[in-house]
């Protein structure tokens, strides 16, 4: 019995392999580019060997195959391998990273290549002027690197989908509504957030719920924040922002919008969300504020405590959470009001009435939101928040 043979070819000698009568098996056409369907290829051009290795290591860790180059000419040569992403150091021997970037942009094969410049402070502008999509400042952590890569690839991949989703939102879908809920505890954020999310067909992301889930599942994050939740204290900003970032990326990609409930609660969080919005080209466009008297809020939370058995619904904790809200969170509303995106609603009436009012107001705003393109929104200086 003849030995079964599998011919592996890049296509050129396909005919020979299949017409050889001794071969019992057809040739198998191995397309080198297929590999990239599962492993995207990144080009790292960096002359500092230590940094180059670190970047390559991190990129492999997040699923990239990596080719490296230690100077400009090597980077240009490597770019012919059609990478899916390039990280270029601004300063490199031979041809500078800036020049490499310009040449890649000028060539039809690489004109659209996502490029991140690796730079020292002074070179940032030059990198973007040369055509880079983004930059990363030295020194940076591996985590920061994967974030920048993530964000850029998301923007590139999701861009068309996002625009299409935003356009279609003038008809039926709610995509394009990026709503923050800033309200005191007990005002009905959960109820109204769910209503708004289902009305606009966008996910409802509640930081309190996400944190309680972590606690319930005893994840490391849950264990780290459990006590703070029980005492009614705020969880550190970085934890909240990291958690929200993931959820926002997914929501934007899948639905083009979201209701973010329970964040921001501090100035640092407001700033973090703003920067995230700038990075993604998707700044939040509505801040929904539910307003109610403290006495009513305490009454509602005590009533809820009897039903839900939340560990942070004792009267002492409730009062601490309210005090924190007035002291740390409420001042943020002024800033959102100045930006013209604040919607304040009286949350004292019954929930159905409040819900109706919210939906009517948001529906009235929706055409406007979708007609104002992202790019023509004015940048907002968040440093003003410090004075708030």
Q: Which residue of 235, 287, 301, 341 would you call a contact of ligand AMP, by CB under 6 A? A: 235
Q: Which of 209, 200, 207 is nearest to 182 (CA)?
A: 207
Of residues 126, 114, 130, 138, the one with CA closest to residue 54 = 138
Site pattern 168..197 for ligand AMP (x: CB under 6 A): -----------------x------------
Structure tokens at 295: 């006495």
| Cα–Cα distance for residue pair 176/167, rounded to 1 Å | 8
Q: Does 207 contact ligand AMP by CB under 6 A?
A: yes
- Between the CA of residue 195 and those of 297, 352, 355, what are the distances in Å? 20, 10, 7
Instruction: Give the position of tokens 């307003």.
Output: 291
Looking at 45, 100, 130, 240, which residue binds ligand AMP (CB under 6 A)? 240
* Beta pairing partners, 290: 345
- Chosen residue from 234, 251, 318, 362 binding ligand AMP by CB under 6 A: 234
Strand ranges inside the chain, DSSP E: 7-9, 27-29, 41-45, 65-69, 85-89, 115-119, 134-137, 178-181, 204-206, 258-261, 286-291, 342-346
Q: Which stretch binds ligand AMP (CB under 6 A): 78-86, 121-129, 160-168, 263-271?
A: 263-271
Per CB under 6 A, the list member of 55, 85, 118, 263 interacting with ligand AMP is: 263
Residue 312 in the binding site for ligand AMP (CB under 6 A): yes
Using rule CB under 6 A, residue 321 touches ligand AMP = yes
Among 176, 188, 232, 355, indicate the residue that binds ligand AMP (CB under 6 A). 232
Minimum distance, C-beta of residue 332 to ligand AMP, in the bound complex (Å)? 11
Q: How far is the CB of 193 from ligand AMP (least distance, A)?
A: 10
Q: Closer CB to ligand AMP, residue 18 or residue 223?
A: 223
Decide: 251 and 202 in contact? Cβ < 8 Å: yes
Distance CA 149, CA 143 (A): 10
CB of 254 to ligand AMP, least distance (A): 22
Torsion of CA 342, 384, 326, 364, to 10 degrees: 0
Element (H, E) at 357: helix 351-371
**What is the token pair recorded at 278?**
């700038």
Residue 371: CB minimum distance to ligand AMP, A? 31
Of all residues in the shown chain, the one whose CB is closest to ligand AMP is 208
Q: How far is the CB of 227 from ligand AMP (least distance, A)?
A: 10
Distance CA 348, CA 350 (A): 7
For residues 383 and 78, what is the distance between their CA atoms, to the nearest angstrom? 43
Compare residues 272 and 355 and give the one whose CB is closer to ligand AMP. Answer: 272
Of 136 and 273, CB closest to ligand AMP: 273
229 binds ligand AMP (CB under 6 A): yes
Question: Where does this chain bind ligand AMP (CB under 6 A)?
Answer: 185, 207-208, 211, 228-229, 232-235, 240, 262-263, 265, 269, 312, 321
């Amino acid at each position: 019995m003849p030995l079964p043979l599998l011919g592996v070819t890049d296509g050129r000698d396909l005919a020979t392999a299949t017409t050889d009568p001794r071969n019992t098996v057809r040739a198998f056409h191995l397309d080198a580019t297929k590999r990239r369907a599962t492993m995207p290829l990144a080009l790292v051009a960096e002359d500092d060997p230590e940094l180059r290795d670190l970047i390559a290591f991190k990129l492999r860790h997040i699923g990239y195959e990596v080719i490296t180059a230690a100077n400009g000419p090597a980077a240009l040569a490597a770019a012919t391998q059609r990478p899916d992403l390039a990280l270029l150091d601004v300063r490199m021997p031979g041809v500078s990273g800036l020049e490499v970037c310009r040449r890649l942009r000028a060539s039809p094969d690489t004109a659209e290549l996502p490029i991140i410049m690796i730079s020292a402070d002074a070179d940032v502008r030059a990198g973007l002027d040369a055509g880079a999509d983004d930059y990363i400042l030295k020194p940076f952590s591996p985590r920061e690197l994967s974030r920048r890569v993530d964000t850029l690839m998301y923007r590139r991949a999701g861009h068309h989908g996002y625009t299409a989703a935003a356009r279609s939102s003038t008809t039926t879908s709610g995509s394009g509504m990026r709503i923050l809920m800033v309200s005191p505890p007990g005002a009905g954020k959960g109820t109204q957030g769910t209503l708004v999310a289902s009305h606009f067909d966008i996910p409802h992301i509640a930081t309190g719920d996400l944190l309680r889930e972590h606690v319930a599942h005893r994840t490391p994050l849950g264990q780290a924040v459990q006590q703070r939740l029980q005492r009614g204290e705020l969880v550190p900003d970085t934890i909240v922002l990291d958690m929200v970032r993931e959820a926002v990326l997914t929501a934007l990609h899948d639905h083009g919008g979201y209701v973010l409930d329970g964040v921001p609660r501090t100035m640092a969080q407001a700033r973090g969300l703003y920067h995230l919005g700038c990075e993604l080209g998707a700044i939040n466009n509505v801040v929904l504020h539910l307003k109610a008297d403290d006495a009513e809020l305490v009454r509602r939370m005590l009533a809820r405590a009897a039903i839900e058995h939340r560990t942070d619904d004792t009267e002492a904790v409730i009062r601490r959470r309210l005090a924190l809200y007035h002291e740390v969170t409420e001042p943020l509303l002024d800033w959102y009001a100045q930006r013209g995106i604040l919607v304040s609603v009286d949350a004292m009436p019954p929930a159905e009435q409040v819900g109706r009012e919210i939906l009517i107001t948001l529906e009235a705003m929706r055409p406007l939101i979708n007609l104002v393109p992202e790019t023509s929104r004015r940048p907002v200086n968040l440093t003003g928040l410090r004075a708030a």
